[in-house]
Amino acid sequence: MELSLKGKKILITGAGAGIGLACAEAFVTAGADVAICDVEQTRLDEALASLTAIGGNHYGQLCDVASADAVADFFANSVKALGALDIVLNNAGVGSPLVPLEETDEADYDRLMGINLKGVWLCMRESLKIMSPAGSGHIINMASALSKTTFPGAGLYVASKYAVGGLTRNTAVEYGDSGIRINAICPGFIETPLLRESVPEEDRAHLASRHPMNRLGTPEDVAKAAMWLASDASSFVTGMLFSVDGGWTAI
C-alpha cells in the first residue's frame, strides 16, 4: 500500500528531534507541507535544515505548548504559512526521573501535566476551532505504552499519559460525526536522543527486555504508524490508542 500525503497540511509539535522530527521527515517525503515547533532554537534550526534537504514547503516556530497564547500564535502562523490545516500531531512531551511517588514534588507535577496533558488539550482545542468549521481534519496525539500499563517510579508520567489516552477517546466520540478523526499513538521505549541522554547504555537492555521483540523502538517505527494514521488508509479509524510497543502491552 502506498501512503501518500500529497497536498496535506500538517502541524507537528515537539518536532526538533526524535519521534517528532522522524514524523516530519516522513510526512514531507510523502508530499505534505508541514509546520513544526520546538522549545529550543538550535533543535528547531537543525530540524528545518533537515526538512529543507528533503524539499517541499515547511514552517517553523518556537512554541511552549503549555502556554495558551503561544499555542494560539503558533497555530495562527502555521495556517497562514501553509494555507490550511488538515492534520495535527501533538507530539511534544517530557519525561521525569524514576522515583517513588512520595519523593515527587509539585514542580515535577506541574511540569509534566503542563506539557504532557495541558499542552495536548490546548493544541486539540486550537485544532478543533480550525477543523470544525471545515468539517474535516485529523488529530493524532502522542500517548504512550504507559497510557495502558504501569512502570514503578513513573507515577506522574503514567498519570499524564493515561489522561492523554482518555482525552483522545472521549473527544473522538464527542466529534465522531463531525468529519474530524482523533487517535493516539502509544509507543514503547524508543531510542531517541532524549533516551540516550537520560538512560545509561547498560540500562537500555533492561528497557528493551520490556518488549517481547526484545529491542528498543526507533523514531522511524513510530513515524510509519503516524504515516498510516495520517493517510486516507485509516479513514474509518477514530478513538484508537494505537500501540507501537514491540508487544509490551500484549503481555
Gap between the Cα atoms of 80 and 85, Å rounded: 10
48-53: long-range contacts, CB 8 A cutoff, minimum separation 24: 50/21, 50/25, 51/24, 51/25
- String of DSSP letters for 110-161: HHHIIIIIIHHHHHHHHHHHHHHHHT-EEEEEE--GGGTS--TT-HHHHHHH
Catalytically annotated residues? 157
Query: Could you give the CA distance from residue 218 to residue 194 in angstroms, rounded to a whole number?
Result: 12
Grid coordinates representing 84?
490550511
Rounded to whole angstroms, the Cα distance separating 182 from 173 reads: 9
> Degrees (nearest 5) of the Cα angle 158, 159, 161?
65
Residues facing 59 on adjacent strands: 35
- Residue 67 makes CB contacts below 8 A (sequence gap 6+) with 122
